[in-house]
C-alpha cells in the first residue's frame, strides 16, 4: 500500500483527535457565505517521503498531477505572477485588476540578486550550486520577502526550500507556514517531489528524500466529515512516476514530460469548499 496514504491518514487522525480548535476565536478566513472558517490544527507537522521508494501521490483520492505540475512550472520555471500564464483557475480569487497576484511566488523567484558567481535569480542559483558546489549547506530559496509582503495578494504558504546532497542523492526540505490539509497537502507534496526529480535529473543526482515541515497544519470545520470519510477508503499501491529522460535543461520541461503509470485511486472528491 502507498506509504503516502499512511502518512496522510496518521496526520489527519492526529489533528482530529489531538488538535486545537479555533472555535470562539477571531479568525481571518471566511467561507463564501461570509461565515468564519474555523479550523482544527496541529503545530509543527513533519512528514518524510523517500522518493526512491515511491512517488507519494495519494490513492485515497486522486491528485491532479498535471495541474499541480503546471502550477509548479508557473512558479519555478516561468517565474510568473500573471494568472493568464497558468493553465488553471486556482489563483483567480487572488488576482488583481491587472491579472497578477502581486509580488508573490514566481515574481520572487524571478528577482535577481548578486551572488559570488554573478547576478542571477534564486532558481538559477540553486541549479548553479548543485552543479558546482553540490555539498554546500547554503542551497536554498526563500520567497517570504518582508519588503514586498504588502504588495502580495496572498503571502506565500510554501515559502522556502532547502536542498541538500548526501552522496549521490538530492534531498529537499519544504518549509510551509500554513496548510489546508484537505485542499493542498498532497498537491504540494507531489509538486515538490517532482521538483526534486527535475533538479536531480538535470544536475546529475538520484532522488533522495522530501521532508515536508508544516508550521500550522489545519483541517477546516466544513472539511472534517470529508476527511473522516476519506481516511476510511481503500488504499492502493503508489503509482509509478518518471520524467522524460531526454530533458537535460530545467527550463525545457513541460507538463507532457511527466509520466504516471499504474495510478489506482479512489473516486475524486468534488466541490470542496475553499476558505479565503
Mean pLDDT throughout 238-244?
Answer: 97
92 phi/psi in degrees, rounded to 5:
-60, -35
DSSP track, the chain: --HHHHHHHHHHHHHHHHPEE-TTS--S-B-TTS-B--EEEEEEEEEEEETTT-----SSS---HHHHHHHHHHHHTS---BGGGSSSSTTGGG--TTSB-BS-THHHHH-EEEETTEEEEHHHHHHHHHHH-TT-S--EEE---GGGGGGBSS--SEEEEEEEEETTEEEEEEEEEEEEHHHHHHHHHHHHHHHHHHHHHHHT-EEEEEEEEEEEEEEEGGGHHHHHHHTTS---PPPEEEE-TT--SGGG--GGGEEEES---PPPPP------
Q: Is 219 annotated as ligand-binding?
A: yes
Count CA atoms closer than 13 A to 33's CA, side-chain side: 3
Q: What is the pLDDT of residue 174?
A: 98
Q: How far apart are CA 42 and CA 14, in angstroms?
A: 8
Does the annotation list 259 as a binding residue? no
Give the number of other CB atoms < 10 A from CB of residue 43. 11
Mean per-residue pLDDT of the chain:
97
Q: pLDDT for 75-103, tens place per residue?
A: 999 999 999 999 999 999 999 999 999 99
Percentage of the chain lying above the pLDDT 90 cut: 99
Above 90 in pLDDT, residue 223?
yes
pLDDT exceeds cutoff 90 at 268: yes
Q: What is the pLDDT of residues 118-133, one digit of tens each?
A: 999 999 999 999 999 9
* Residue 261 scores a pLDDT above 90: yes
Residue 254's contacts (CB-CB under 8 Å, 6 or more residues apart) are: 73
What mean pLDDT is predicted for residues 168-186?
98
Task: Let me know if 12 is a catalytic residue.
Answer: no
Does 218 carry a binding-site annotation? yes
Full set of structural domains in the chain with CATH: 3-261 (3.30.572.10)
Per-residue pLDDT at 1: 87
pLDDT at position 121 is: 98
33 is in an annotated binding site: no
pLDDT, tens digit, for every residue of 151-164? 999 999 999 999 99
Name the pLDDT band for 62 (thresholds 50, 70, 90).
very high
Cell readout for 100 is: 497578477
Interior angle at CA 184, CA 53 and CA 205, nearest 5? 35
**177 annotated to a ligand binding site:** yes
Question: 19, 42 in Cβ contact below 8 A?
Answer: yes
Mean pLDDT of 209-215: 98
- Which one of the listed residues 29, 120, 157, 247 is annotated catalytic? 157
From CA 146, how far away is CA 86, in angstroms rounded? 25
Name the pTM for this structure.
0.97
Q: Is 275 annotated among the ligand-binding residues? A: yes
Residue 230 clears pLDDT 90, i.e. is over it: yes
Instruction: Tell me whether residue 117 is annotated as binding.
Output: no
Amino acid at each position: 500500500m502507498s506509504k503516502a496514504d499512511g502518512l496522510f491518514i496518521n496526520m489527519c487522525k492526529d489533528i482530529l483527535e489531538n488538535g486545537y480548535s479555533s472555535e470562539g476565536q477571531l479568525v481571518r478566513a471566511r467561507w463564501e457565505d461570509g461565515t468564519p472558517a474555523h479550523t482544527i490544527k496541529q503545530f509543527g507537522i513533519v512528514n518524510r517521503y523517500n522518493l526512491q521508494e515511491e512517488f507519494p501521490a495519494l490513492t485515497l483520492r486522486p491528485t491532479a498531477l498535471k495541474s499541480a505540475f503546471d502550477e509548479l512550472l508557473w512558479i519555478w520555471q516561468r517565474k510568473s505572477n500573471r494568472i493568464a500564464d497558468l493553465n488553471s483557475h486556482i489563483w483567480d480569487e487572488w488576482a488583481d485588476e491587472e491579472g497578477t497576484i502581486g509580488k508573490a511566488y514566481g515574481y520572487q523567484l524571478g528577482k535577481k540578486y548578486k551572488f559570488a558567481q554573478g547576478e542571477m535569480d534564486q532558481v538559477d542559483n540553486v541549479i548553479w550550486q548543485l552543479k558546482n558546489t553540490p555539498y554546500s549547506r547554503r542551497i536554498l530559496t526563500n520567497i517570504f520577502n518582508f519588503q514586498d509582503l504588502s504588495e502580495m495578494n496572498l503571502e506565500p504558504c510554501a515559502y522556502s526550500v532547502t536542498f541538500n546532497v548526501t552522496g549521490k542523492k538530492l534531498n529537499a526540505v519544504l518549509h510551509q507556514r500554513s496548510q489546508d490539509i484537505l485542499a493542498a497537502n498532497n498537491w504540494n507534496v507531489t509538486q515538490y517531489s517532482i521538483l526534486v526529480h527535475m533538479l536531480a535529473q538535470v544536475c546529475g543526482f538520484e532522488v533522495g528524500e522530501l521532508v515536508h515541515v508544516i508550521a500550522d497544519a489545519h483541517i477546516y470545520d466544513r472539511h472534517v466529515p470529508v476527511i473522516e470519510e476519506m481516511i476510511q477508503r481503500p488504499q492502493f499501491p503508489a503509482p509509478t512516476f518518471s520524467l522524460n529522460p531526454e530533458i537535460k535543461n530545467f527550463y525545457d520541461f513541460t507538463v507532457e514530460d511527466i509520466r504516471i503509470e499504474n495510478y489506482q485511486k479512489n473516486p475524486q472528491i468534488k466541490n470542496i469548499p475553499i476558505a479565503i
